[in-house]
């Protein structure tokens, strides 16, 4: 095997293992439970998972998606998150190359996966992810791109912009528009990616949100209620910005040269 193949395979395996841990976060964080204790168990019968029940995807497949003891169904979310995490890890190394920037970007991607899944199910973006996310993003930016100045501007502007939009919407309509979670999440995005890619994320998420919104309206006819919470769009847009943002900006700004 060549070195790059080994890195690819290594990151694929790491992605599966990390995905398994992200499942625990997604399952427990919305309820404010510890992600360390107790060990994973079946929510139906309390069966404590053994080490051989914990192989990502494989265990699920071998058990036919059922608890070893009581045969209750295990959510398909578990293998899906593991496979998605693996795929995202592999795409990162393909797109960004074997570069030290992989470290912060993979950490960032993990946070986005967890936020996406929790927001989708609970309409919630937990502070225990977004707030440490801001700090970790800034810490990485002390040494790595986008650099601390870009990151600080990104975090402050990112949080500020959405806060202003939410505040204006609230004054105007009396309805809480943006959750506070969105504000903190965009601050985190700014801290990891810097202000330029944070702005790009905002634009991409609006486009994505509009497209999906129109599709939902067309299919359901009426029903102005959002089908998906904004954090899910922010997650997808931030992932695209993290991977392809530099190229998108180059392409876009190229028109003005
Ligand atoms: Zn069980």
Q: Ligand 1 center to residue 166 CA distance, Å?
A: 43
pLDDT at 235: 98
pLDDT confidence of residue 227:
64
Q: Tokens 């504000």 label which residue?
A: 183
CA of 87 to the centre of ligand 1 (A): 29
Other Cβ atoms closer than 10 A to 221: 7
For ligand 1, the distance from its centroid to the CA atom of residue 212, given in whole angstroms, is 37
Query: What tokens were used for 176?
Result: 């809480």
C-alpha of residue 47 to centroid of ligand 1, in Å:
5
What's the gap in Å between 67 CA and the centre of ligand 1? 5
In the chain, what is the greatest distance between 2 CA atoms, to the nearest angstrom? 65
Q: Spell out, as residue ranges, where the chain has pLDDT lower than 70.
A: 177-179, 221-227, 257
Give me ligand 1 centre to Cα 43, in Å.
Answer: 7
Rounded Cα distance between 15 and 29, Å, is: 20
Q: Which residues of 161-170 are buried (b: 16+ CB within 10 A; e: fewer)?
A: bbbeebeeee
* pLDDT at site 177: 63
Shortest CA distance to 84 belongs to which of 56, 43, 61, 63?
A: 56
| Ligand 1 center from residue 56 Cα (angstroms) | 18
CA of 41 relative to ligand 1 center, distance in Å: 8
CA torsion 196-201-207-208 (nearest 10°) is: 160
Helix%, strand%, coil% for the chain, nearest 5: 75, 0, 25
What tokens does 85 get? 């995490």
pTM as predicted: 0.93
Residue 4's CB is within 10 A of a number of other CB atoms, namely: 12
158-186 pLDDT, tens digit per residue, is 998 888 888 888 888 887 766 689 999 99
16 C-beta neighbours (distance < 10 Å), count: 19
Residue 224 falls in which region: left (phi positive, over 0), alpha (psi -120 to 50) or beta? alpha
Give residue 42 CA to ligand 1 midpoint distance, Å. Answer: 5
Give dist(CA 158, CA 137) in Å, integer: 13
CA of 73 to the centre of ligand 1 (A): 8
Ligand 1 midpoint to CA 28 (Å): 17
């Amino acid at each position: 095997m060549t070195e790059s193949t080994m890195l690819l395979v290594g990151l694929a395996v790491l992605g599966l293992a990390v995905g398994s841990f992200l499942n625990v976060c997604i399952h427990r964080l919305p309820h404010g439970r510890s992600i360390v204790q107790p060990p994973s168990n079946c929510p139906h019968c309390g069966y404590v998972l053994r080490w051989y029940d914990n192989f990502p995807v494989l265990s699920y497949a071998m058990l036919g998606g059922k608890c070893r003891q009581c045969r209750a169904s295990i959510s398909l979310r578990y293998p899906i998150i593991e496979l998605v995490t693996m795929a995202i890890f592999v795409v990162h190394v393909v797109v960004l190359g074997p570069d030290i920037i992989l470290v912060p970007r993979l950490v960032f991607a993990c946070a986005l996966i967890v936020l996406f899944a929790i927001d989708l199910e609970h309409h919630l973006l937990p502070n225990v992810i977004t707030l440490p996310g801001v700090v970790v993003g800034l810490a990485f930016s002390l040494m790595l791109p986008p650099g601390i100045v870009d990151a600080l501007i990104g975090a402050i502007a990112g949080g500020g912009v959405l806060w202003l939009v939410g505040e204006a919407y609230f004054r105007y309509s009396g309805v809480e528009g943006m959750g506070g979670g969105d504000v903190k999440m965009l601050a985190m995005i700014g801290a990891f990616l810097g202000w330029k890619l944070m702005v790009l994320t905002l634009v991409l998420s609006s486009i994505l949100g509009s497209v999906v919104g129109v599709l939902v309206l067309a299919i359901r006819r009426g029903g102005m209620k959002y089908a998906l919470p904004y954090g899910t769009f922010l997650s997808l847009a931030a992932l695209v910005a993290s991977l392809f943002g530099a190229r998108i900006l180059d392409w876009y700004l190229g028109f003005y040269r």
